[in-house]
Amino acid sequence: MPLTAIRKILVVRLSSIGDIILTTPLLRSLRKAYPQAHITFLIKKQFRELLEHSPYIDELVTFDKNEGMAELVKIKKELKKQQFDLYLDIHRNLRSRFLRYGLGARHNTTYHKLIVKRTLLIWTGINLYGKVKPVYERYFDSVRKFGIHYDGQGTEIHVNPDALEKPRTMLVEAGYDFVAPLVVICPSATYFNKRWLPEGFVKTAGHLIAEKNAFVVVHGGYEDIELCDNIAHTIGHRAVSMAGKLSLSGSAALLRFSSLVIANDTGLLHMAQSQKKPVVGIYGPTTRELGYFPVEQNSIVVETQVSCRPCTHNGLDYCPKKHFRCMKEISAESVIAAALTFLP
């Protein structure tokens, strides 16, 4: 089948925030390579806002995980009717494999998770990665034969202009003047061992307030309210928590107002980069080889070199060595120094 005959493309990445954001360079490049193709994207319902305004997608199909397998069977039946020319599985889990088989797409491709190399690195410390390639670039390895290449322009999430109004109003009510630097701190992460110490964020924020007259927003999801509220309260003057108060698109809009984002290895870090904002990423149990460091442009990663890194791929709710050195040995001074690189 000649490449020019590709008219219908299905891309599957069901979750999560950061992973979906990292697909956006691929979507942009797909559209450039096949401007006339109809591109469908399958995503979990709760993440729909991330892509619903993308100019590179013609159709967004959502999967409600609460409906279980019956919902997925129904979706597969409907998708099969479209007779896709190209199926891109960039999730590669049981659900995406189920969709792939029997869908009838003329071309099927998926990205390589490098499971053997990852397992050896985490469990034995043997590093066979060679040249380190981030996940968003690995996605392109499986589609290069279709004339699709990374353009070097990073990630992007398109926000409806209406979404800007709520965070703008909240910032005004909190006393922000839109003149001073706005620093957004994201202190949470899905797993405990990806979280830098709260006192580190407090000390960093205090310094940026004192030296740069920064205004600080502590942000996270609904489940992060207590953590973020406590940090904002401890920081005190010129700090406010907005955790749990904004949708995904509202969070992206908030980050668009920021001068700098300081975050753990979490979806909000990647969301900040999608809004072309500088980020300071704080990484403990995971390393660059695993593929989820921020896009290099406009970012600094703060980390420590301890022999037990990496101890996990996704994260853990405990430190396997019970010392948590990978996070405890990251000083506030090192994070402050990185932050000051981006603040005038």
Pick from 117, 146, 175: which residue ends a domain?
Answer: 146
Output the domain CATH number for residue 257.
3.40.50.2000
- For the cut 70, the answer to whether the pLDDT of residue 39 exceeds it is yes
Q: How confident is the model at residue 5 (pLDDT cuts 50, 70, 90)?
A: confident
Structural domain includes residue 99: yes
The domain tally of the chain equals 2
Q: How confident is the model at residue 297 (pLDDT cuts 50, 70, 90)?
A: confident
Structural domain includes residue 28: yes
Percent with pLDDT over 90 in the chain: 90
Structural domain includes residue 130: yes
Pick from 121, 146, 171: which residue ends a domain?
Answer: 146
Contacts of 295 (CB under 8 A, 6+ apart): 134, 136, 154, 155, 273
Structural domain includes residue 156: no
Pick from 102, 121, 146: which residue ends a domain?
Answer: 146
Residue 3 confidence (pLDDT): 57
Q: What is the DSSP string of 271-330?
A: HHHHTT--EEEE-SS--GGGS-SPPSTTEEEE----TT----SS--SS-TTSS-HHHHTS
Domain that holds residue 60: 3-146
Residues 173 and 111 in one domain: no
pLDDT tens-digit profile of 60-114? 999 998 998 999 999 999 999 999 999 999 998 899 989 888 899 999 999 888 9
Residues 18 and 62 in one domain: yes
Question: What is the amino acid identity at position 30?
Answer: L
Structural domain includes residue 95: yes
Residues 172 and 284 in one domain: yes
Structural domain includes residue 203: yes
Residue 100 confidence (pLDDT): 87
In angstroms, the first-to-last Cα distance of the chain is 54
Structural domain includes residue 153: no
Residues 268 and 302 in one domain: yes
Does the pTM exceed 0.85? yes
Residues 101 and 231 in one domain: no
Contacts of 126 (CB under 8 A, 6+ apart): 120
Structural domain includes residue 151: no
Q: How many DSSP H helices and E strands does the chain contain?
A: 13, 11
Q: What is the mean pLDDT of the chain?
A: 95
